[in-house]
Amino acid sequence: MFYDLWLKYALDGRSNYIPWKDKMEAMLQENVLNEFIDQDIPKPPTLNAQNLAEWKKCVERARQIILEGV
């Protein structure tokens, strides 16, 4: 999924860090991923395949949102 962030909210060093950070936090919260930046979410045990798959999906979505804004 493409969030089109880099076109409008790309990080440009110190000059726009605070607005960029605020936008990233809002985007992560909108996608119910803010807990991945607010706290450490440990990787679930591999014995629970469904939880592990969901965790990996959330990590990748959060990473994609952040990378598109850099």
Burial 6-42 (b: 16+ CB within 10 A, else e): eeebebeeeeeeeebeebbeebbeebebbebeeeeee
Residue 49 falls inside a structural domain? yes
Q: Report whether pLDDT(1) > 50.
A: no
What average pLDDT does this structure show over 3-28?
Answer: 79
Task: Check whether 13 has a pLDDT greater than 70.
Answer: yes
* Whether this model's pTM surpasses 0.75: no
> Which residue segment(s) compose the domain that 51 sits in?
1-9+44-70
Domain count, the chain: 1
**Is 20 among the domain residues?**
no
